[in-house]
Amino acid sequence: GAGVSQTPSNKVTEKGKYVELRCDPISGHTALYWYRQSLGQGPEFLIYFQGTGAADDSGLPNDRFFAVRPEGSVSTLKIQRTERGDSAVYLCASSLSPGKNGEAFFGQGTRLTVV
Amino acid sequence: GQSLEQPSEVTAVEGAIVQINCTYQTSGFYGLSWYQQHDGGAPTFLSYNALDGLEETGRFSSFLSRSDSYGYLLLQELQMKDSASYFCAVRARGGGNKLTFGTGTQLKVEL
């Protein structure tokens, strides 16, 4: 596709459930990033993939959060035992090169609501 | 760690010029990016400064002073469609394009 695609666009889940959020980056982009954005705040870094491997997962808040990118393209962010505090917009971004010009292309995000 | 400060809100009239400031504290600074985000939309890249000075892209310009840990985004000939949130974001060494974002400045353009 032309841009970063994230599915679903909206997800409502019950506290304690497991959710998976999908990101399909721009074709050919080797770097992929997950961010989380709460209302009125800037995006908060979660994890960065270079190819298939997680180059930096320092932003994952705890071990309930996990992300994979098995073939170096599509990535899935997985959240176990969801809590109401996990409610936010989860943004995925990709870039052509990991080291160039501060530009990343963002998807529209998945709005996660935990009830 | 990193921290960034920017004004929470700025209001200006159509056709005017507005400057959004950003100060940052970080270790291993590599560059400063600016992103625009409309309500409900994706953040969109505007500009990036790695070196001191002014970068101009159409109506938008961005400035960086590394010695002052300070940058700004300058928007000229404001249009109603420029009403959005604007984020500065620090890129630090070793993190690819991993960015640490500020809390954002909401720009309201009025007639």
DSSP letters for A6-49: EE-SEEEE-TT--EEEEEE--TT--EEEEEEE-TTS--EEEEEE
Element (H, E) at B82: none
DSSP bridge pairs for B24: B4
Residue A31: which of B50, B96, B104 has the nearest Cβ?
A: B96
Asked if A100's CB is within 8 angstroms of B97's CB, the reply is yes
- pLDDT of B96 > 80? The answer is no
Question: Who has greater pLDDT, A97 or A115?
Answer: A115
Residues of B in contact with A93 (CB under 8 A): 43, 97
The confidence band for A13, taking pLDDT boundaries of 50, 70 and 90, is very high
Tokens of B71: 């940058």
State which residue of chain B sits closest to A103, comparing Cα positions: B45
Contacts of residue A12, defined as CB under 8 A and 6 or more positions apart, other chains included, come to: A113, A115
For residue B19, give how far its alpha carbon lies from the nearest alpha carbon of chain A (Å).
19
Contact B45 A103 (CB under 8 A): yes
What's the pLDDT tens digit per position in B31-54?
Answer: 999 999 999 999 999 999 999 999
pLDDT at A98 over 70: no
Confidence grade of residue A101 (pLDDT, cut at 50, 70, 90): confident
Decide if pLDDT at A99 tops 60.
no
pLDDT of B2:
80
- How high is the pLDDT of residue A85? 97
For chain A, the average pLDDT equals: 94
Interface contact A98, partner B, CB < 8 A: yes
| Cβ atoms of A60 and B108 closer than 8 Å | no
Instruction: Note whether B104 and B20 are within 8 A (CB).
Output: no
Residue B81, phi then psi, degrees to nearest 5: -70, -10
- What confidence tens digit (pLDDT) does each residue in A69-85 have? 999 999 999 999 999 99
